[in-house]
Amino acid sequence: MSSPLNPKTTHWEFSGLPGAIGITLGLPTLIIFFALITNENYSLTGINLDIQAIIDQLPQNSTEWIDLCFDKTCWLAYLTWFFGLVILDFILPGRSLNGVTLRDNTKLNYKINGLAMSGTLLAVLAARVYQSTNWYLPELQFIYDNHLKLTIVTTIFSFLLAIFVYITSFIPLITPNGVKTRERVLSVNGNTGSVIYDWFIGRELNPRIGTWDIKLFCELRPGLLLWFLINLSCIHNQYHKYGEITDSLVLINALQAFYVFDGVLNEEGLLTMIDITTDGFGFMLAFGDLAWLPWSYSLPARYVCLPEHKVSLGFSNIALILGIKVLGYYIFHSSNKQKSDFRQGKLDHLNLVSIPTKTGSKLLCDGWWGLSQHINYLGDWLIGWSWCLPTGFQTPLTYFYVIYFGTLLLHRQMRDEAKCRAKYGKQWEEYEAKVPYKIIPYVY
Ligand code: NDP
């Protein structure tokens, strides 16, 4: 379908349909594989995979497969978690903020209630700990004991959610006066006409039910907060089964919890990011937010909580890792803030070097943004290293995050470069000549 508002997409990302099918089948298989190689029955050591030990954990017949994929308790627990957060999202107070101007010249309004949401979750956890005997929380142990089943539940749920938003993207919206209907704003990347590709990449830009924004909710709530709980479930299991809590596991929990709550508390920053402004919401984002993020980012904690892989870091290693984290966070935070302040005119008095463009906005080439075109990505990547290093050097598996995230950032840099080149033309070339490095100064 092509219209003046929603032109047909001609550029296919991820190598088109083969890439979309490959990712749709490959990434869920990968997180299931992760669950099969980091559990108390079998865990990977080094790079030696015991294929038989992995196969032995899989169901032997269709009834067992159905039990694994559709375990009633796990489904009930996950649906309660997801829709419980939806209800909280509705009832908790928050600030109201407008997003960027869309192609139909409207702006969507968002409720920013990350503070109330985080406070509520932490208060519930604190109350449960207070009520508990010897710190035992059955819900955390339930998460630990069902990593594999919950991985599958979140994956199937993402498939279903992507089908739902794909179908609703064809239903015209009813305007507030209830009479006329108006066309939905589709993603510039998701209107190819191919059912599978558009379902995968996301057809509609901002699917909503009433004022409830599905994309913003999924980006920052059920998956991100589940990641925090999965990490806690690892500490919980280590303490209650093995009678100790290692410093490496505490450090991973603390560093990742900081990242989770930093994201949730600064959610307005997301409103101007590519995910919200450009990407459609389809399987890629639904699965990425709800299943991929919690189950792959929690790998370091899931690995070091196993007794055969426990790591005691000691003071100097902890200090070194904290140093990497602080440096990464400083670069990440101050560079993003500098760009945002610059764009809002808050740094005009500093007379920073910049290039005016034909669109009216300026490209900053001073401060952090004079060092590389995406210095903020470097900071983010260093933060990732601080999550993996506490696992020691037992297996490359626990470094999966920095490898994957480095690849994601490279891909994102290329996508952004293509976008900026098309948008700014000659001025972008001028900018590239002034700031030649893409991410790491003097390296790349
Ligand atoms: P950037 O914050 O680098 O934003 C890129 C956009 O900023 C460009 O499209 C352009 O937009 C504008 N821009 C580019 N160069 C300049 C300049 N020199 N001066 C002024 N404006 C400029 O990229 P992202 O949105 O991808 O990332 C934001 C943050 O999110 C990063 O810190 C990144 O690390 C993080 N991130 C985290 C992920 C995760 O999973 N944890 C995933 C992806 C990103 P315009 O059209 O407005 O000019």
Choose the residue to mutate in 358, 380, 440 for probing ligand 1, maximizing ligand atoms within 8 Å of C-beta. 380
**Measured CA distances, 128 to 30, 74, 233, 394 (Å):** 33, 20, 14, 35
- Closest residue to atom 10 of ligand 1, CA basis: 420
CB atoms within 10 A of CB 111: 20
Estimate the crossing angle of helix 375-388 against helix 247-265, to 10 degrees: 150
CB atoms within 10 A of CB 24: 18
pLDDT digits over 165-189, tens only? Answer: 999 999 988 776 666 677 899 999 9
Quote the pLDDT of residue 317.
98
pLDDT digits over 239-274, tens only? Answer: 999 999 999 999 999 999 999 999 899 888 888 888
Interval 146-155 mean pLDDT: 98
> Which atom number of ligand 1 is nearest to the Cα of residue 361?
48
Mean pLDDT for the chain? 94
Instruction: Give Cα 162 distance to the centre of its chain.
Output: 16
pLDDT digits over 72-106, tens only? Answer: 999 999 999 999 999 999 999 999 999 989 988 88
Quote the pLDDT of residue 371.
97
- Class of residue 405 by CB neighbours under 10 A (exposed 0-12, middle 13-18, buried 19+): buried
DSSP code string of 414-426: HHHHHHHHHHHTH
Parse the chain into domains and list their residue ranges.
Answer: 1-312, 313-444
pLDDT digits over 51-64, tens only? Answer: 999 999 999 999 99
Produce one character per residue of 241-262: b if its CB has 16 or more CB atoms within 10 Å, e if not: eeeebbbbbbbbbebbeebbbe
Quote the pLDDT of residue 179.
62
pTM of the predicted model over 0.95: no
Q: Using pLDDT thresholds of 50, 70 and 90, give the confidence band for residue 286.
A: very high
The identity of residue 230, as a single letter, is I
Ligand 1 pocket member 382 (CB < 6 A)? no
Ligand 1 centroid from CA 147, angstroms: 33
How far is residue 240's CA from residue 219's CA, in Å, rounded to a whole number? Answer: 32
pLDDT digits over 361-384, tens only? Answer: 899 999 999 999 999 999 999 999
pLDDT digits over 1-17, tens only? Answer: 788 899 999 999 899 99
- Closest residue to atom 11 of ligand 1, CA basis: 420
Quote the pLDDT of residue 178.
65
Contact 106, 176 (CB under 8 A): no
pLDDT digits over 306-336, tens only? Answer: 999 999 999 999 999 999 999 999 999 999 9
Ligand 1 pocket member 319 (CB < 6 A)? no
